């Protein structure tokens, strides 16, 4: 069996969800259903699983595997729109657990036609949903040099962002940059190979993908509404693979789990101070152990954060 589709931090996720047999759960990033299958297995006939994904291939997989199960609702949409979708089901503040596994999935990386990876040549697309928005090739065709450099620096922390941007703009004047091999070769021609032997295009591919799919904006939009979705006692689980995403999650949990700071000397008793703690977390970030890393290298950079709605 291929290891490419193994769900990251599977056992840790299922344990942290503390699944109730009659509970209602949302897998906002279905992928190929590794986590969803285990969540469903823990539910009885009164439980319910809602799966979402913006990738049409993932949704086709979900419908093929679980479409006949009356406990499962399959929704083709971005997880950022979860609140409106849950509201349409009349389930606001009725969800026992939400799981997000952020970033690009293994099937997307493995499919050269999707353009996420430089391991195999393919069209320079990079869209999570190929039916919407502009492709990476379209963006590189029109973006100015300053914008390209900004994206590579902000989302990829690429130290050579200006050098790469200049090279791409220079080359596109004579020929289009339309496939992953061409882009990777151009970046490699102006960036020294890192000491860790990582491909010179790694950071740039990551940055362009994050920009094309507005991944950080998606996370922020979701976080602004998640407390409307979870019931009190409901759990939020987010797996991230990028420091910028993890920083957003960490800051949100901290902000929602910290009591308000009041000016010293206010003539108030403790009982008169209204607590606005809305999330509770007792665990630090969870990462994959040695056994998982030995069989699933994708888990190397995975960080799982868990919180529970308190009020």
Query: Over the stretch 110-129, which tens digit does the pLDDT of each residue have?
Result: 899 999 999 999 999 999 99
> Which pLDDT does position 215 carry in this prediction?
96
Residue keyed to tokens 């791409």 = 168
Q: Whole-angstrom Cα distance, residue 205 to residue 156?
A: 8
Query: Over the stretch 44-80, which tens digit does the pLDDT of each residue have?
Result: 999 999 999 999 999 999 999 999 999 999 999 999 9
Burial (0-12, 13-18, 19+ Cβ within 10 Å), 137: buried
281 contacts 253 by C-beta, under 8 angstroms? yes
> Which pLDDT does position 297 carry in this prediction?
83
Domains of the chain, residue spans? 10-106+216-261+273-309, 129-212
Residue keyed to tokens 């503390």 = 18
Q: Whole-angstrom Cα distance, residue 78 to residue 82?
A: 7
60 contacts 114 by C-beta, under 8 angstroms? no
Q: Whole-angstrom Cα distance, residue 57 to residue 69?
A: 19
51 contacts 24 by C-beta, under 8 angstroms? no
> Which pLDDT does position 1 carry in this prediction?
31
Assigned fold of 129-212:
DNA polymerase; domain 1 (1.10.150)
Say whether pLDDT at 264 is over 70. Answer: no
Tokens representing residue 200 in the block: 């010179």
What pTM was computed for the model?
Answer: 0.91
Query: Over the stretch 170-196, which tens digit does the pLDDT of each residue have?
Result: 999 999 999 999 999 999 999 988 878
Backbone CA torsion sign across 294, 297, 303, 307? negative
Query: Over the stretch 197-249, which tens digit does the pLDDT of each residue have?
Result: 889 999 999 999 999 999 999 999 999 999 999 999 999 999 999 999 999 99
Q: Which CATH architecture has domain 10-106+216-261+273-309?
A: 3-Layer(aba) Sandwich (3.40)
């Amino acid at each position: 069996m291929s290891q490419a589709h193994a769900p990251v931090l599977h056992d840790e996720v299922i344990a942290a969800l503390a699944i109730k047999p009659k509970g209602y759960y949302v897998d906002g990033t279905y992928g190929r259903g590794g986590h969803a299958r285990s969540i469903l297995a823990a539910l009885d006939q009164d439980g319910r699983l809602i799966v979402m994904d913006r990738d049409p291939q993932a949704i086709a997989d979900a419908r093929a595997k679980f479409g006949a199960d009356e406990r499962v609702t399959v929704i083709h949409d971005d997880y950022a729109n979860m609140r409106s979708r849950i509201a349409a089901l009349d389930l606001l503040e009725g969800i026992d657990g939400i799981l997000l596994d952020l970033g690009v999935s293994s099937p997307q990386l493995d499919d050269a036609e999707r353009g996420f990876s430089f391991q195999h040549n393919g069209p320079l697309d990079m869209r999570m949903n190929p039916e919407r928005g502009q492709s990476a090739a379209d963006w590189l065709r029109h973006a100015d040099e300053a914008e390209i450099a900004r994206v590579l620096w902000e989302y990829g922390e690429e130290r050579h962002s200006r050098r790469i941007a200049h090279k791409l703009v220079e080359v596109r004047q004579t020929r289009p940059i339309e496939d992953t091999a061409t882009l990777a070769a151009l970046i490699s021609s102006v960036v020294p190979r890192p000491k860790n032997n990582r491909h010179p295009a790694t950071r740039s591919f990551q940055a362009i993908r994050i920009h094309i799919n507005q991944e950080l904006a998606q996370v922020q939009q979701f976080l602004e509404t998640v407390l409307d979705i979870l019931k009190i006692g409901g759990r939020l689980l987010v797996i991230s693979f990028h420091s910028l995403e993890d920083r957003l999650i960490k800051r949100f949990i901290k902000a929602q789990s910290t009591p308000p700071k009041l000016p010293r000397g206010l003539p108030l008793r403790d009982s008169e101070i209204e607590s606005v703690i809305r999330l509770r977390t007792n665990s630090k970030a969870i990462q994959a152990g040695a056994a998982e890393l030995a069989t699933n290298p994708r888990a190397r950079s995975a960080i799982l954060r868990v919180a529970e709605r308190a009020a």
